[in-house]
Every structure is written in C-alpha cells, then in structure tokens.
Structure 1
Amino acid sequence: MNFNYIKYFYFIGIGGIGMSSLARYFHKTGKIVHGHDKNRTFLTKELEKEGILINYYDCIEILPEWVTSNKCLIIYTPAIPSNHKQWTFLKKHAKNIKKRSQTLAIITENETCIAIGGTHGKTTTSILLCHILYVSGVSFTAFLGGISENYNSNIILNGKKFFLVEADEFDHSFLYLYPNIACITSLDQDHIDIYPKKEDLKKAYINFSNKIKKPYKKIFLCKEDIDIFLKKNAIYYSITEKESYYSNHLHVEENKWYFDFHTPKEIWKLLPLPIPGKHNLKNITAALAISDYLKIDRKKIRKALSSFRGIKRRYSIHYQSKNKIYIDDYAHHPTEINALIDTIRESFPNKVILGIFQPHLFSRTKFFEDYFAESLGKLDILILLDIYPAREFPIYGVNSERILEKVKISYEHKEVSSISKVLEKIGKKNFDIILTIGAGNIDTLIFPIKEFMHKRYG
C-alpha cells in the first residue's frame, strides 16, 4: 500500500500505546487523523491537544463520512472486541483496513529497520537506544512502546536513516516485520491467549529471527534469557558472562548506580545506570551493544546515559521526601514484579513497602496465579485491585480473592479493594514506600496519590 494516496486515517483503539504512536506519525506527516477509544485517558487527551479528533462512544452515527472512501485507511488493534459496533460497520463498508502491526511493517519495509523484541525489557531498551541516537545526531524515526520522559512522546521524527520499532509478540504482530537489526531481550511465557505453551512462543521468536535481512542482518540476544538461537548472525550480550558485549561491577555510590561496560575492544568504566536494577542493566547493555555496533561515539553514549530521564510508568518516582516515597511501575508479569520489588529493596533497604497491584487480563491471572502470589508476597502490605479485563471476558472462578488467599502476608496486611476506595485505605496504612503496579487503568491513581502524599507529608 502506498500511503501517499491515503488522505484520511481512522484508528479504532487509538489510545493504545502502539496505536497512538502511529496516529501521531501520520498526523505529523500532514494526514487527517481521527479515532475512537472507549475511555478518555492522559494519552488520548495529549492526542487531542495535538489536533487529533477522538470519539468515545461506540456508535456508527458519529463516524466521519470519509471513513468508507478509497482515500481512507482504517487501522485497528486485535484487542478490539468482535461485537464492537463501529468495527462491525467498518469491516463491512470500509475500502482499506489494516492491523496496527501491518501498517508499521509497510512503513518500515523499504527502510533500515532496528526492531527490539522480548517479553520484558523491550520498551526500556528501545527508548534508551532512541535517546542515544538522538543525542548522537543520528538520522532516525522511532515508534516506541512507552512515553519517553525526555521527549514526552512515543514517536520521534528525526530523519530516516534508521527506523527503530518495538517488535510486539502479541497476536504474532512482530512477524510482519523484516528488520535489518533485531534484539531479543528475554523469552518468558506471556500472552497465554495467544501462546498457550511456551514452545509456541519460542517458535514465534524463531520465525521472527529468520526474518532478519541485509544489510546488517544481525540479531542481539541476551545470554541469560535466550537459549534457542544459535545463529551465525547472532551477537550475545550479558551481565553474568563474558560475551561479545557485557556489563559488570554494578554498584551503588551515594544512592546512584554505576557499572562497567565491555565491548569486543575496550572497557567503558563507571557508566551511570539511569534506571536502577539488575534487570535494567540487561536492557541498557542491549542498547549500548547496538549503539557500539553502529559505531556511535563513546562520549556521546555516555552523555546520553547521563541525560536519560526514563520512561513514564517505568520505575517512575512521583513523590519523595525524607521519609516517604511513591513509585509507579507498569509491571504486569510476575517476573517484572519480582525485579521491581527486588530493586526497591536494594535501593531503599529496611523500608516498609505498601504495594497496590491491579492484575491485567483474566487469562494471564489464571495461568500465573501462584507466581503472582509468590511475587506479591515480597511486599509488606498489599492492596489487591480487581482484575482489569481489557479485551477479555471474565473466566469463572478467576478473581483477585483467589490470589490474595495465596499471598504469604498476614491477613491484617492484605486486602482486596475497588480502585475507587484505594485512597481511603492507604490513609489508614503505615508505610515508607507506596508502589502502584499494573498495566490496566491503575495509572488513574497516580495524580490522586501524589496529591494525597503532598497534602499529608508536605
């Protein structure tokens, strides 16, 4: 498809992080962009401020008249339910329809593409790599799976030498891509509705690795997490073994983290770790390895690390006083929750942590029920919210109460709550750190909790 002949774009599910980056891309390139989402969120409000029109009611009457013309492309996410009225109408009457992943593949098919995949870490890796490219003056366009704190956006238009994208495994989306350079940060079972067995996920990633093309034709793999790719074009990186690229000597000095980075030719000493934690060291090592492979100047890379401000909803500190801290994080998988809590324990030892967690998806909650209970048991106090269904319908017998029963925290320090009653409950708790965790609409608590912390603790 040639987008030069498309004047209008209509997004169903425009508020999604991947959908919104595409919407911003076409809007910034002069196209007329409208969209639909079920809820007005911080992200949709930002899109509206930028001039993108969004409706929030699932009815056909409010669709613009051009949605069925030859000059319009409908872009949808697989997360849209099958009984959605606008989607049902457009499937029948629209002339051009593409998935989000298909659209991204068309944009990048004739470009030099860098694709970052992996169950965990792809957003951190891609946004840090994006910042390194920008600080280094490299020509590139980036479609990101999170909001960069440096640029307050998930789309960066800074030229076209490289196209940096996230390779999303959900619904096999990444298999539409044909990158020149790829990275797989981790391979942990997730998206159970798509990959019932881990072997299914492995096969999908093998298929993805087989799509890497010339020039470059390189794939970067995390040695700790990837055990199925033994390819001539693979470059391994690690934080525990001496591979082509590896990082070590992670340590804390005056509440700041530092590490050493090893390339095939030299050692970069005492680099600042802009986001704390061993899991983030893996992601940062991946971004540094790709940067060095692309021959980006070492001094500019160090400058980028020092100026990196992070990612919204990734270890985001929203309040910090002498005695109290509030941190928000997108973690929604047991592995991610473990890494998050371990990092906080190491950064702030001997503190009482109150965690507020919102499970995301019934299928994920059912499959990882015991693992969620184990990871949440690392908290001192737990407020467990109801499951956020997203695209799914409830599964009989799957609920937050079942997880709570298995969490090894005393009953007086754990409970299930609706999201509307959270502020009332935290006001009665004794804690040093508040931690909000999850991928649903738990982010709507960020501002109220920040306001609560400022009012109570100054």
Structure 2
Amino acid sequence: MSNNQHQATATALSSLKDIHSVYFIGIGGIGMSALARYFIAKGVMVSGYDKTETELTKKLVEEGIPVHYTEDVNNIPKDVDLVVYTPAVPKQHAELVYYQENNYKVVKRSDVLGAISADTFNICVAGTHGKTTVSTMVAHILRDSGYGCNAFLGGISTNYNTNFWSDPNNVSVIEADEYDRSFLKLSPDVAIITAMDADHLDIYGDEATMQQAFVEFGSKVKPGGLLISKFGLTKAKDIKADNKWTYSTTNDAASVYTLDIKIQEGGYDFNVQLPGGMISGFRLNMGGMHNVENAVAAIAVAYKLEIDEEKIKAAIASFRGVKRRFEYVLPWEPKEKGGYVYPILIDDYAHHPEELRALLRSTRNLFPQRKITVIFQPHLFSRTKDFANEFSSSLDIADRIILLPIYPARELPMEGVTSEIILKNIQGEDKQLLSKEELLDWARRYANEIDKEFGEVIVVAGAGDIDQLVAPLKQIFANA
C-alpha cells in the first residue's frame, strides 16, 4: 500500500463514530476480537465469520455478536458500513472477494487500529516476543491503579478474562503487531520494543529487513514522546526518538534495571532502579525470568506516567498473567493423591525458538529437580523451515520432547517440511512425533507413571490449535 493509499484509508476511517455496522472476516483472531469488542462497546452492530468455533468465538456470541463458520456469501450481511479482515485470511476467500468486488469499505485490522490511535495518547508495545505480556501488564497497571486506559491486547488477560476494555481516559494501550508491517500504522506517544529476533520471514524476506521495520516503528514516536527498548537490541541506536530508555534484568548500564532478584514460591521478589531512583519491594506472582524482564518494561511505562509507586507495586503483585503465557493449568503447589505427586501443567503460546528457549529455561530454573516434558506444535511451514535447527536446540532443554504435526494456519504445505526436520536434530533420546489422538493416549498411559518423589512438569507450547488439548490433558493428569 502506498503512502497516499494509506492516508486515504486512514481518512476514511477517522470518523469511526459514523460506522453503524461492521463485519469481521476472521473474527476469532485475538486482535480481531478485541476490535469487535471495541465496536460493541461503542454501540455498533457487529457480526463475523471464522473458520472454526473456539472458546473465544463462543464468548463473542455470548456477548451478542453473531458468528458463522461456513465460507458462504449467502450468510453474510449486505448492509454493513465497514468490513474488517485479517491478513491471515486467504486473498481468494469468497466473502472477502464479494465485499471487495461490490465496493464495500474493506480494510485490514491494522487500518482500524491506526484510525483509533490517531486520536488518543498511545502506549504501543512491539516485539517478536514479550509484547503480549508487556502490553497486558501495562494495561493492568493503568486499570488497577485508577489511571485508566483503553486496552487492545493480543492475549486474554487472566485478571479480567478479556483482551479489550474501554475507559473514559483517552489513553490506549495497543499491542503493536509486526506481522504484515501492521504496527507502522500506529501513532505511539510511548513505544516499547521487547525484541527484534528474526521472524515472519515470509513477509520480510530476511532479518535485516524485519529489523528495519522495527526501526521505522520506533521512529514513529511522536515529538517529545518516549521509546523504551530492551537493552542490547542491535538496531535500537538507529531509531530516531526524542527520548530513549532501555531496560534489563542483568545490566546496570540500562536506564531501568532490576536488583536483588529472588525466586520465592513460584514467583519473584525484586527491586527496580529507575532514572529518578529505586523502587524496592516488587513481587511478581508468576513464573519465568523473562516475565520479570517484561515487568521491568511495564514498570518503566507506569513510572513515566507518574503513577504512584505503591500503586505500581500493588498492580504487579496482583497481576495474574495472560492466558497461555506461562499459565499454570495445574497449580505448582505439590498436591498428593494416591501416593503420586501431581504434575505441574504449564500452557504457553511460545512459537518462536527464542520464546521456547526462555520458556523452558525458566521452567528449569523454577523447578530444578523435576523432570520436564515439552509438548510442542510447530506453527507455520515457513517458520519451521526457517528455524528448524533453532527449534531443535531450544527443545533440547527439556528431558522429554513430544512433537505434534505442523499447524499450517494461513499456509499451504511445503514439500519436505514436516515436524520431522525438527525431531531429527534433537540431541536427546526421549523424543517422538505423535498425532493429537496419540498424544492423549500417551497421557492416559503415562499419568500413572509420574515421578513419585518430585513430580514432573509438563509444558504445552504452540500458537496453533494445541490449546484445545489443554483441557483434556488437565483432566487426565488431575484425575490420575
């Protein structure tokens, strides 16, 4: 899309108050559903399509949004003012083609977010991993402290069981998605960049091009605004912003960094050094050292907004995480039944090698005596092909590796690209590739063999439909 085209789209969408009915193609996507909820909150008629029914689409239906699951132009509303689609929808999708050919106003999700952000004070969180947790933490601090914000999140906040909420305060916390260069349509007052690891090479071609997009995003910070980036990002120095902070859990050369981190009861106690002094006595009640790092970024934002220190500490302590982000499905506390120690069951959205590495390292640090099993579903043929060796290396942190077939999402199969190309380079001996049905059969057999002294940790990871296996796995292991 050219600059002129983008400006025309943004102008067309700048008067969202004149929109009375919206149709979403791919409404079950996490970002799309947040926008659907935004329009519902504004009193707009909303309906949509998705290819499969999920817990999220069921919730949308409960909230008054009709959703259908058959790609059929006879099922779609013809009197809508705006049609919103996700880039994950194929270009030849029958409903999308119908609306385009019949001159409806058809825009991407990112165009709507861009229009919303044109009129608010925006805290935009970007990064190839970490952005969902950081944006949810920021939004929670602002909500819990009474500061107030509108939140457009890429995950379901466990505290509020939603990915969107509205507030009279004209402040928006927006998860800034790098896929399809969507985040370049936003207008940040405060921008956070958590990571620039290579990803979405199907869009960008190579890592350098992708990193340049992050440079462009950071450089979109409004005059007088603030860029907060993870310490050590190679391209951060190229970003043009009036004010820059860095954050870290390990390096006191950063603008904001942690001190005296202690692992306590499945979470962390720590202090944070900020540009104006230290705040001591933080408590984070969730696992994963990477989540301490995420908390530091969120704390930096709250400090910049001059939120009271005690309110920031209270909000971090009460933060319950994001669904599928180091989520304890079976609690970490040891529970005994029939002589067996319950396994800990952790569910996580990790779908990039670095996310997997952080997830499994954190699990190992928190539970050093427990055997760790990881059940991983690769996401996208292209990502599997690009990072097969890196996935193998990250998965090797676990004691046992179970792979599922690749979840294709928006892609068609690629010749020679299967989960086998990850499996063959895993160094550990305890590895296998199973179908979903075979996995549940394995779990039923294995549930009664759990280590009796220390218990075990079972980590479910992936961004596809592996989440649908979490409830049956929980039931199997909890009732063993």
Q: Could you say which TM-score interval applies, normalised by the shorter chain?
A: over 0.9
Aligned match of 1:361 in 356, 374, 380?
A: 380
Q: Give the match for residue 55 of structure 1.
A: 68
Residue 254 of structure 1 and its aligned partner are, at CA, apart by 4.1
Residue 277 of structure 1: CA displacement?
A: 2.4
Corresponding position: 1:36 with 2:44 = no
CA change 1:227–1:175 in 2 (3 A) is closer
Deviation at 1:454, TM superposition (A): 2.0
State the 1:83 CA deviation.
2.3
Look up the match of 1:449.
Answer: 473
Task: Tell me the equivalent position of 1:308.
Answer: 319
Residue equivalent to 1:238? 248
Tell me the equivalent position of 1:96: 105
2:404 to 368, 371, 385: 385
Q: Name structure 2 gaps, 5 residues minimum.
A: 1-12, 336-340, 451-455
Query: Which of residues 74, 79, 82 in structure 1 aligns to 2:88?
Result: 79
Partner of 1:219: 227
Contact 1:224–1:240 (CA under 8 A) maintained in structure 2: no
Q: State the 1:161 CA deviation.
A: 2.6
The Cα of 1:203 is off from its aligned counterpart by 1.0
Within 1, Cα distance between the matches of 2:133 and 2:275? 24
Q: Over residues 159-198 of structure 1, what are the superposed CA-to-partner deviations in whole Å (9 max), with x where a residue is unaligned?
A: 2331110111000000111111111111111111012211
Aligned partners of 1:186 and 1:226 also within 8 Å: no
Q: What is residue 340 of structure 1 aligned with on the other side? A: 359
- The amino acid that maps onto 2:479 is K
Is 1:127 matched up with 2:145? no
Structure 1 pair 15/370, CA: closer, same or farther in 2 (3 Å)? same
How far does residue 226 in structure 1 lie from its aligned partner after superposition?
Answer: 4.5
- 8 Å CA contact 1:126–1:144 kept in 2: the answer is yes
- Asked whether 1:210 is paired with 2:219, we answer yes
Q: CA deviation at 1:51?
A: 0.5
How far is 1:85 from its partner?
1.1
RMSD of Structure 2 on Structure 1 (CA): 1.4
Give CA-to-partner distance per residue, 1:113-169, whole Å, 9 cap, x none: 110111111111110111110111113211011100111000011223311101110
Provide the secondary structure at the position in 2 that maps to 1:10.
strand
Q: Which amino acid in structure 1 is aligned with residue 414 of structure 2? A: I
SS of residue matched to 2:468: helix
Of the structure 1 ranges 41-50 and 277-286, higher mean CA displacement relative to structure 2 is found in: 277-286
* Alignment correspondent of 1:414: 431
Q: 1:280 aligns with which of 277, 291, 297?
A: 291
- 1:400-424 residue CA offsets vs partner (Å, 9 max, x unmatched): 11211111121xx221111122110
Structure 1 counterpart of 2:121: 112
Other structure's SS at 1:285 match: helix
Q: Matched residue of 1:212: which SS? A: coil
Alignment partners' CA distance in 2, 1:186 and 1:333: 12
Q: What is the letter of the counterpart of residue 335 of structure 1?
A: E
Other structure's SS at 1:102 match: helix
Establish whether residue 292 from structure 1 lines up as the match of residue 303 from structure 2.
yes
Structure 1 stretch displaced more, 281-290 or 254-263: 254-263
Native 8 Å contact 1:277 1:343 kept in 2: yes
CA contact (8 A) 1:58 1:86 kept: yes
% same residue = 41
Provide closer, same or farther for how the CA distance between residues 455 and 254 of structure 1 changes in structure 2, counting only shifts above 3 A: closer
Q: Compared with structure 1, are the counterparts of its residues 153 and 94 closer, same or farther at alpha carbon in structure 2 (3 Å cutoff)?
A: farther
Query: Is residue 181 of structure 2 the alignment partner of residue 162 of structure 1?
Result: no
Q: Give the distance between the partners of 1:77 and 1:175, measured in 2 at CA.
A: 16
Number of matched pairs? 449
Q: Report the 3-state secondary structure (helix = DSSP H, G, I; strand = E; otherwise coil) of the residue aligned with 1:52.
A: coil
- Is this contact kept in 2: 1:115–1:183, CA < 8 A? yes
Paired residues of 1:74 and 1:94 also in contact (CA < 8 A):
no
CA distance in 2 between counterparts of 1:354 and 1:113 reads: 40
| More divergent stretch after superposition (259-268 vs 420-429) | 420-429
Give, in whole Å, the separation in 2 of the partners of 1:447 and 1:54. Answer: 23
SS at match of 1:280: helix
Whether the 8 Å contact between 2:266 and 2:286 is mirrored in structure 1 is no
CA distance in 2 between counterparts of 1:318 and 1:255 reads 14
